[in-house]
Amino acid sequence: MLLVTGGAGFIGSNIVASLNEAGRADVAVNDVLGSGGKWHNLASRQLADFVPAADLLRWLEGRKLDAVLHMGAISSTTATDGDAVMESNFGLSLRLLDWCTATRTPFIYASSAATYGDGAAGFADDWSPSALKRLKPLNLYGFSKQAFDLAVAERAARKDKLPPQWVGLKFFNVFGPNEYHKGEMMSLVAKRFDDAKAGAPIRLFKSYRSGIADGEQKRDFVYVDDAVAVVRFLMETPSVSGIFNVGTGKARSFRDLMLALFAALGQEPKIEYIDMPPAIRDSYQYFTQADVSGLRRAGFAADFTTLEEGVRRYVSGYLNRADRYR
């Protein structure tokens, strides 16, 4: 049996879908469904068990699992409850790491590109403790992920006991089906699709940095199928451990993203530029780009989906249908 924490969430539910499609029905999901319709992400899935958040550690007692895929987290970059975020993203992660160490269970967990902060220290996935300590996350979410990365890396550096395979994945800007419960944390494709389809103009932030045009702020946008492919590759390559970036390695602008959306709809682009709220101007990221050389050295050789093709698949396969769920 496999356990996917956060298995009803965005990346987690796509992992569950991929495992089911590969013939695995022995997948247990741990998550909090709430009352916002998050259950739709699992409506087409076959589960071996569903584990409520409060029951997870008790459920694990005496279990033998093939792997723990720890995708669960408070992932909002605007979260402000430090105690809740650290308990979810750091404390629980440590307890799962300890359980996997004790039971010799492979452990693959979601880190985040938010650990890189404004990018001043670069985007190389060097997981030595000294390199990780140079990173300065800009928000509580990034800090919590950074704290766990560092805790794992310190154990590895000291040659402490760890699971037979341990992997942290620094996901960059992932987009695709089943992200609809994320509200403001949804990708811009999902947030702006209905407006674009209705012929309304899409609004992007103006630039406040010399040499960067309005809408040309860049991110490493990665289609969710590629993120899942990395997880599946690592599950099938138990000799690989470490912390790796998950992105395309090619930054693209928000303007490019919206042009891809209009193209997928077969419509002429309508883009307007608006003022960026003063509260975020000083901490706004103008550029992120994954260095994927570590992942390539580990043996992941698959091509990443282009921005245009990812948006096209998302629009035609999900957003432009009555049932948008995978």
Q: Which of 136, 182, 250, 270 is catalytic?
A: 182
Q: What is the pLDDT of residue 207?
A: 97
Q: Is 191 a catalytic residue?
A: no
B/e letters for 152-176, b = 16+ CB within 10 Å, e = fewer, are: bbebbeeeeeebebbbbbbbbbbbb
Q: What is the pLDDT of residue 251?
A: 98
CA atoms of 170 and 246, how far apart (whole Å): 6
Q: Is 141 a catalytic residue?
A: yes
Rounded to 10 degrees, what is the CA torsion of 43, 32, 168, 18?
-10
Q: What is the pLDDT of residue 27?
A: 98
CA atoms of 280 and 130, how far apart (whole Å): 29
Residue 182: count of CB within 10 angstroms of its CB: 16
CA atoms of 171 and 182, how far apart (whole Å): 16
Q: What is the pLDDT of residue 223?
A: 98
Domains of the chain: 2-176+222-250+287-305 (3.40.50.720)
Q: Which of 141, 180, 314, 318 is catalytic?
A: 141
DSSP character at residue 287: B
Q: Residue 123: what residue type?
A: F
Q: What is the pLDDT along the chain (326 residues), one digit of tens a residue?
A: 999 999 999 999 999 999 999 999 999 999 999 988 999 999 999 999 999 999 999 999 999 999 999 999 988 888 889 999 999 999 999 999 999 999 999 999 999 999 999 999 999 999 999 999 999 998 999 999 999 999 999 999 999 999 999 999 999 999 999 999 999 999 999 999 999 999 999 999 999 999 999 999 999 999 999 999 999 999 999 999 999 999 999 999 999 999 999 999 999 999 999 999 998 888 788 999 999 999 999 999 999 999 999 999 999 999 999 999 99
